[in-house]
Amino acid sequence: MNVRVRVPTQLRDLVAGASVVEIDVGGPSDGAATVAAVLDGLAAQHPALERRVRDEQGRVRAHVNLFVGSDNVRDRDGPATPIGAGDVLSIIPAVSGG
């Protein structure tokens, strides 16, 4: 199954300018996976992008939000949030910083 991941503007240089990357998470094309599995796929296919989303212990960085559709995964099941074919996982920087 492929899942589309939307890449924020600030990180597109890491994926040759792409705004969306397709991540193969394995399994049947109409299957289901978790956000964690998508991020694992991202680590394999675009490691420089993935490590800006998760630290080396696999924790999503504090000021990075992940959305499945319009749902912030922190408000659902975190990395265990299910994601299906046709869903879009959006990486969005939190409104914070210095």
Partner 1 sequence: MIVLVGTTKGLFTLRSGDGRERFEVTGPAFAGEEVYATCIDARSGATRLFAGSVSNHWGPVLRRSDDLGASWTEGERAALRFPEGADASVARIWQLAPGPVDEPDVIYAGVEPAALFRSDDGGRSFSLVHGLWDHPHRTQWQPGGGGLCLHTVLVHPEDPDRLLIAISAAGVYRSEDGGSSWQASNRGIVVGFVPEGEALEFGQCVHKVARDAGDPERLYLQHHGGIYRSDDGGGAWTPMTGIAGMDFGFPVVAHPTQPSTAYLLPLESDEYRCTPNGRCTVWRTTDAGASWEPLTTGLPQRDAHITVLRDGFTTDGQDPAGLYLGTRTGEVYASIDDGDSWRLLAEHLPPVMSVRAAAIVA
Exposure of 72 in the CB half-sphere (CA atoms within 13 A): 9
Return the range that interacts with partner 1 (CB under 8 A); candidates 30-38, 60-68, 69-77, 80-88: 60-68
The answer to whether 93 contacts partner 1 (rule: CB under 8 A) is yes
The C-alpha R_g of the chain, in whole angstroms, comes to: 12
The answer to whether 59 contacts partner 1 (rule: CB under 8 A) is yes
The answer to whether 9 contacts partner 1 (rule: CB under 8 A) is no
Query: Strands, DSSP E only, in the chain?
Result: 2-6, 20-24, 32-34, 64-68, 71-72, 82-84, 88-93
* C-beta closer to partner 1: residue 17 or 98: 98
Are 67 and 25 contacting, i.e. CB atoms less than 8 angstroms apart? no
The answer to whether 94 contacts partner 1 (rule: CB under 8 A) is yes
By CB under 8 A, name the binding residues for partner 1.
Answer: 10-11, 47-48, 51-53, 55-57, 59, 61, 63-64, 93-94, 96-98
